[in-house]
């Protein structure tokens, strides 16, 4: 891919599931899509039937990268082999998630404290990525450090394994998402990559992507220009805006009644896909999306805060059929 900057969809747990990814691919496809992260251990220790559903994808979503987390090189290799079997275009290793349950397993951001194991995990993924003669690119998503900025030591250790891509979330694990992302660290990551030479005297060709607090494509382009990074990963901005990666994003305004209709119809379509593709998941997962879809417009014609009233009704909905009826009634008020 020669286009720069590359704009990609971040992996978000219980957000970028197969249903939402189908919607995003239809209404505003990014250059590359990531799955939500999946436990490599869970896949091969009794949870395969449920977890493999999180890895389902359509041809319209390509290129698509499967993201896994584990502290076991053996499990990572098996997950990479599975990605080959399922036809993914790449494999990503989560080395930045701050979730305590993930860290207790020695995975996610815990890898920053154990760089030797992190290298073993990456190399195991690369081995698994060669199954059946394939050679899928292996990438890493991580942070600038654990309790403090450790880029100067952490990033070179990752570069030693020669991954295709490293995405830098511009915060430490300790900071979670509680402070603004500091993109000067992404710029520094690019500088470290540019000056890196491996033991054979070869310069690094690893791509560096930045992540954190990116509002839209215009903002992504600006961040890339300021830092020199090869691409930008957008995450939370996708909430309520499945058309985020489309040029039409700039033209859709929630204050406009017709645009509001379009957004709500996409929301209903998303809900029906969720129910169809992920019947094993709790329907309440969709409700975080409703808060984002139904946001940012003026009072309803009947008086009151139309968005607030609608959100309250959606929060009580139990299935896609109820959601569809609630939206039909609301749309009648817009005529």
Which pLDDT score, from 0 to 100, does residue 249 have?
73
- The alpha carbons of the chain give a radius of gyration, in whole angstroms, of 21
3-state secondary structure of 67: strand
Q: Does one domain contain both 31 and 177?
A: yes
Does 234 lie in the same domain as 298? no
Same domain, 270 and 223: no
Please check whether residues 205 and 57 belong to one and the same domain. yes
Q: How far apart are CA 146 and CA 110, in angstroms?
A: 8
pTM over 0.85: yes
Burial 149-160 (b: 16+ CB within 10 A, else e): bbbeebbbebbb
Residue 316 lies in a domain: yes
Residues 301-329: tens digit of each pLDDT: 555 557 888 999 999 999 999 999 999 99
Q: What is the predicted pLDDT for the residue at 300?
A: 60
Residue ending a domain, choose from 191, 218, 247? 247
Final residue of a domain: which of 207, 227, 247?
247
**Domain count across the chain:** 2
Same domain, 157 and 275: no
- CATH number assigned to the domain comprising residue 229: 3.20.20.70
Pair 215, 76 in one domain? yes
Asked whether residue 166 is assigned to any structural domain, the reply reads yes
Q: Which domain holds residue 98?
A: 6-247
191 and 112, same domain (yes or no): yes
Please identify every residue annotated as catalytic.
97
- Residue 320's pLDDT is what? 97
Residues 306, 201, single domain; the answer is no
Considering Cα of 303, then 308, then 311, then 316, what sign does the dihedral take? Answer: negative
Report the chain's mean pLDDT, rounded to a whole number.
94
Determine the Cα angle at 221 with ends 216 and 223, to 5°: 95
What's residue 116's pLDDT?
97
Q: What does each C-alpha distance from 7 to 78, 83, 192, 229, 295 come to in angstroms?
A: 29, 22, 22, 11, 25
Residue 256 pLDDT level (bands cut at 50, 70, 90):
confident
pLDDT in tens, 203-218: 999 999 999 999 999 9
Say if residue 248's pLDDT is above 80: no
Residues 223 and 261 in one domain: no
pLDDT at 2: 58
Tell me what pLDDT residue 65 has: 98
Q: How sure is the predictor about 21, in pLDDT bands with cuts at 50, 70 and 90? A: very high
Cross-strand bridge partners of residue 8: 32, 233
Of 247, 263, 293, the last residue of a domain is 247
Is the domain of 91 the same as that of 211?
A: yes
Does any domain span residue 109?
yes
**Residue 1 in domain:** no
Name the residue among 10, 35, 20, 60 with its Cα closest to residue 273.
20
From 2-11, 200-209, 251-260, the region with the lowest mean pLDDT:
251-260
Q: Alpha carbon of 247 to those of 20, 192, 333: distances in Å? A: 19, 33, 29
pLDDT at 257 over 90: no
Instruction: Put residue 202 in one of left, alpha, beta given phi > 0 → left and psi -120 to 50 → alpha.
Output: beta
If asked whether residues 197 and 326 sit together in one domain, one would say no
* Greatest mean pLDDT among 48-52, 90-94, 241-245, 249-253: 90-94
- Are residue 83 and residue 170 in the same domain, yes or no? yes
Place 251 in a pLDDT band, splitting at 50, 70 and 90.
confident
pLDDT in tens, 109-131: 999 999 999 999 999 999 999 99
Q: Is the C-alpha dihedral spanning 239, 245, 248, 250 positive or negative?
A: positive
């Amino acid at each position: 891919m020669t286009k720069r900057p590359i704009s990609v969809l971040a992996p978000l747990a219980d957000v970028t599931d197969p249903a939402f990814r189908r919607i995003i691919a239809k209404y505003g496809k990014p250059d590359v899509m990531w799955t939500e992260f999946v436990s490599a251990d869970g896949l091969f220790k009794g949870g395969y039937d449920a977890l493999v559903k999180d890895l389902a994808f359509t041809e319209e979503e390509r290129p698509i990268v499967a993201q896994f987390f584990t502290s076991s090189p053996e499990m990572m290799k098996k997950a990479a082999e599975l990605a080959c079997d399922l036809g993914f275009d790449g494999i990503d290793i989560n080395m930045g998630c701050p979730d305590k349950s993930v860290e207790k397993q020695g995975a996610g951001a815990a890898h920053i404290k154990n760089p030797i194991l992190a290298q073993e995990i990456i190399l195991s993924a690369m081995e698994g990525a060669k199954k059946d003669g394939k050679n899928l690119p292996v990438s890493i998503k991580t942070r600038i450090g654990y309790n403090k900025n450790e880029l100067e030591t952490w990033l070179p250790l990752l570069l030693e394994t020669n991954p295709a891509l490293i995405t830098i979330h511009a915060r430490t694990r300790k900071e979670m998402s509680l402070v603004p992302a500091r993109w000067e660290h992404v710029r520094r990551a690019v500088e470290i990559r540019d000056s890196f030479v491996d033991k054979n005297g070869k310069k690094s060709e690893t791509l560096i992507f930045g992540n954190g607090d990116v509002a839209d494509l215009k903002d992504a382009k600006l961040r890339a220009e300021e830092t020199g990074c090869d691409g930008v990963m957008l995450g939370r901005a996708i909430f309520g805006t499945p058309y985020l990666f489309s040029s039409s994003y700039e033209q859709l305004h929630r204050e406009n009644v017709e645009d509001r209709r379009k957004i709500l119809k996409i929301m209903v379509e998303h809900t029906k896909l969720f129910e169809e593709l992920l019947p094993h998941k709790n329907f309440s997962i969709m409700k975080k999306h409703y808060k984002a879809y139904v946001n940012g417009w003026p009072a309803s014609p009947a008086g009151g805060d139309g968005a607030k009233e609608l959100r309250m009704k959606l929060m009580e909905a139990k299935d896609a059929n109820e959601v569809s009826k609630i939206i039909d009634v609301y749309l009648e008020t817009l005529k």
